[in-house]
Amino acid sequence: MDCVKKGTEIKRFTEGNLTSHLIRFAIPVLLSHLMMVLLNTVDMIVVGQRLGEAGTSAVSIGGSVAMFLNAFIGGFASAVQVIIAIKIGAGKQKQISKFVSTVCGFVLATAVTSIAVMLPLTDLMLSLLNTPSEAYAGAYEYALICIVGIIPIYFYHIISAVFRGLGDSKHPFIFIFIACSLNIVLDIVFVLFLDMGVGGAAIATVIAQLVSVALSVTVLIKKRDAFDLTIKANDLFKWDKNELSRFIKLAIPMAINNSAIQIAGMVINSMTNDFGVTVSAFAGIRANIATTVDLILGSVAAAGAMIIGQNIAAGKLNRVNGTLIRVGAITLSASAALIILFLLFPISIFGIFTKEGAVLDLVYPYLPILIFSLVNAGLRPVTRSLIDGSGNKRINLIVALLDAIVGRIGLAVVFGVLLKQGYMGLWLGTTLAELIPIIIGVIFYFVSVRKNLRKKEL
């Protein structure tokens, strides 16, 4: 076992105050997630204000294709972060350089493959999503541009995960803050002044992400000594078989988990789009709000996963339990605050995205489902931080299959189609499915994590 050298910026969470560790790590992650939401939200707001509900629908549907790719690479990024945390907790940080170079090379190959596979399928995917005719051209243009620009988006996620895995959550926030600021400026220029429409919003997003990833790579190279990294450009093409194998075994279930949830969302959106452009526009706003809430509370889960990963590797059950308690206290408090806001100002919040009266008429019927979803959102980060931090590939795969495929799609069909509750039934079924990973996480803790860590302590 090797120890973290003095003078390095690698952070250990196996010692010290848990609350301080959690908050200090989570705040920059939260701000980063808010910036990522703002990247997507700005597109929807600017285009929606300029082109109306057809523009909002186009960004929503076209963006869902890009979000699928983001969800896929997000699973890879989670695996990177967790594996690095486990190596640090187990005192094996000397293996990190070889792991990072292997993963970066593999991700580059994956990004190129994703472009080659997704480009010919763009039209088919939009057809399967039942894209309204009024929004089809814009959705196609948005999706196509985002797919072409997927390489910088992939690498932003991976490089940020490396920083976070090493205990640095501040730099990823700086990178995405710069990207978001640039995206806002470019959105205004391309969409409002140059009248480039939906395509202009997509180009703005890709350019912003390109600048962000260039900055992140530059900083990582400059800080390689502080992080005790020894990586050269040609190392990207020298993959270590053992590191790649371990990464793939965890990354694939995590990617399937994220992607399956995204696919389930796309299937449900396809069913929702059958109800016309007004419902489609509302569905896009609903999805954007849900993503925003998930990313906000997910920042605490990400911080919790980092701390739990190190402490599980170090065999410290008390610190795992303490982290779970703190994660729950924070996310449930935030969930309660969000519920109060939506109960008091529902029209004002949804009105940020659109001024269309027909779209806003759907807010109050949807409100009870939204409140239920916010309760789930407060509970999910607790079990999510445990499952992700454990690095257990099997439990991630189980969650992916039961949550997304069986739960979200199955229950949406039951309530929306079989019980004839329409689009509200689709959204209710999705919300009920959110309970599945919570239940699985509780069972996983008592059956596996608590039991195994107690044995290590004896």
What percent of the chain has a predicted confidence (pLDDT) above 70? 93
Dihedral in degrees, nearest 10, Cα atoms 154, 158, 164, 166 = -170
Residue ranges of alpha helices (H) inside 166-276 are 170-187, 197-222, 241-273
Alpha-carbon span 109 to 156, nearest angstrom: 15
Burial of 334 (0-12, 13-18, 19+ CB in 10 A): buried
Cα 193 to Cα 149: distance, rounded to the nearest angstrom: 23
Q: Which of 16-25, 198-207, 324-333 has the lowest mean pLDDT?
A: 198-207
The pLDDT tens digits for 371-381 are 999 999 999 99
Average pLDDT over residues 196-218: 86
For residue 360, is pLDDT > 50? yes
Q: What is the mean pLDDT of the chain?
A: 83
- Sign of torsion, CA 408 412 415 417? negative
pLDDT exceeds cutoff 70 at 8 = no
Predicted pLDDT at 403: 77
Record the pTM: 0.78
Mean pLDDT of 265-282: 80
Residue 135 CB neighbours (<10 A): 28
Q: Is the pLDDT of residue 85 over 50?
A: yes
* Percent of all residues in the chain with a pLDDT value above 90, rounded to a whole number: 16
Max distance between CA atoms of the chain, in angstroms, equals 68
Residue 141 CA to residue 144 CA, distance in Å, equals 5
Cα separation, 298 vs 281, in Å, equals 25
236 pLDDT above the threshold of 70: no
Which carries the bigger pLDDT value, residue 102 or residue 35? Answer: 102
**pLDDT class for 53, splitting at 50, 70, 90?**
low
Judged by DSSP in three states, 345 sits in coil
pLDDT in tens, 120-147: 888 888 887 777 777 788 888 888 888 8
Nearest by Cα to 257 from 34, 440, 37: 440
What are 99-110's pLDDT values in tens digits? 888 898 898 888
DSSP letter, residue 92 = -
Residue with the bigger pLDDT between 139 and 364: it is: 364
pLDDT at 272 over 70: yes
Mention every residue, 6+ apart, whose C-beta is less than 8 A from residue 270.
Answer: 128, 129, 130
Q: Are 254 and 79 contacting, i.e. CB atoms less than 8 angstroms apart?
A: yes
Q: Is the dihedral of CA 139, 140, 143, 149 positive or negative?
A: negative
Radius of gyration of the chain (CA): 21
Residue closest to 294 by CA, chosen among 91, 67, 117, 131: 67
Q: What tokens were used for 97? A: 């350089």
Which pLDDT band, with edges at 50, 70 and 90, does 277 fall under?
confident
Are the C-beta atoms of residues 129 and 263 closer than 8 Å to each other?
no
Average confidence (pLDDT) over 380-388: 91
Output the CA angle 27-101-384, nearest 5 degrees.
35
Residue 259 above 60 pLDDT? yes
Using alpha carbons, list the distances in angstroms from residue 338 to 66, 129, 146, 190, 288. Answer: 27, 30, 31, 33, 15
Scanning 345-405, the segments in alpha helix (DSSP H) are 346-350, 357-360, 363-390, 393-399
Query: Which of 2-16, 35-49, 220-234, 429-443 shows the highest mean pLDDT?
Result: 429-443
Where along the chain do its domains lie? 18-457
Question: pLDDT value at position 364?
Answer: 92
Count Cβ neighbours within 10 Å for each residue of 101-110 and write b for 16 or more, e otherwise.
bbbbbbbbeb
pLDDT of residue 365: 92
Stretch among 41-55, 191-205, 232-246 having the lowest mean pLDDT: 41-55
- 140-173 residue pLDDT tens: 888 888 888 888 888 888 998 899 888 888 888 8
Q: How far apart are alpha carbons 364 and 360 in whole angstroms?
A: 8
Whole-number Cα distances in Å, 120 to 71, 115, 266: 20, 9, 18
pLDDT of 327 strictly over 90: yes
In one letter, which amino acid is 259?
A: S
What does the pLDDT read at residue 369?
Answer: 94
Amino acid in the structure at residue 89: G
pLDDT exceeds cutoff 80 at 9:
no
Average pLDDT over residues 299-321: 88
309 vs 245: CA distance, rounded Å = 19
Amino acid identity for residue 175 in this structure? F
CB-based contact 42:184 (threshold 8 Å): yes
Q: What is the pLDDT of residue 331?
A: 94
Tokens of 103: 């993963």
Q: Which two tokens stand for residue 204?
A: 């703005």
